A and B are shown apart, each in its own frame.
Chain A
Amino acid sequence: GNSVTQMEGPVTLSEEAFLTINCTYTATGYPSLFWYVQYPGEGLQLLLKATKADDKGSNKGFEATYRKETTSFHLEKGSVQVSDSAVYFCALSPTSNTGTLVYFGTGTSLTVIP
């Protein structure tokens, strides 16, 4: 089946610290992988995506590399800011004929303190 497992939070970091949020997946075929971000009081919005192995998605200083050999898509940022405080969701979209749905992880809450 298809599923996403991401590290549990909450994560609390000081400003300018390095961030890693782990995400691993199980899927049939070759899914597309996503990171979504949810700021307080808002809906989810796409942060970055990768559609094939070894692709690197990047946006707003965040990066994630599609690793087929380890079935992972870890989110990283070299220097976090207070404004990065949010909940981050890893997700996958299968590419099989039944791959209509997007499967979300449980979310990781990040708080960045000044």
Chain B
Amino acid sequence: DAGVIQSPRHEVTEMGQEVTLRCKPISGHDYLFWYRQTMMRGLELLIYFNNNVPIDDSGMPEDRFSAKMPNASFSTLKIQPSEPRDSAVYFCASRLDRVNTEAFFGQGTRLTVV
């Protein structure tokens, strides 16, 4: 397996534009997580899915953020409209099951909103 695949690796967009980040988890993994990493706040969990169902989105900062997982092999994180303070590295991670297993991270998407 190629691991967790995220696209794009880098995204630069203007304030107010819609941004869509994409993630392909490892095949067979039941859990998918979206994290945001910034210098100020460290690694923050935004939302996670179990078997394609959103379980906890309490970490999503605002209504401008939304995430979907239409099937087991694909998830998106959308920001609409984007703001400069959304600039960060966004990581997707997948995990086989709920107990005693490691999370496999993608390489991240570096988002810059100007």
Contact = CB atoms under 8 A, between A and B. Distances in A.
Interface in A70-88: none
B100 A93 contact: yes
Contacts, number: 48
Nearest to B42: A106
Interface residue tally of chain B, by bracket?
20 to 34
B114 interface: no
Nearest to A103: B45
Contacts of A102: 95, 103
B12 interface: no
B42 A93 contact: no
Interface of B: 4, 31, 42-43, 45, 48, 50, 55-56, 91, 93, 95, 98-108
B102 A34 contact: yes
Nearest to A34: B102
A95 B100 CA distance: 8
Interface residue tally of chain A, by bracket?
20 to 34
Interface in A57-114: 89, 93, 95, 99-102, 104, 106-107
Contact of B45 (A34, A95, A99, A101): A101
Contacts of A107: 42-43
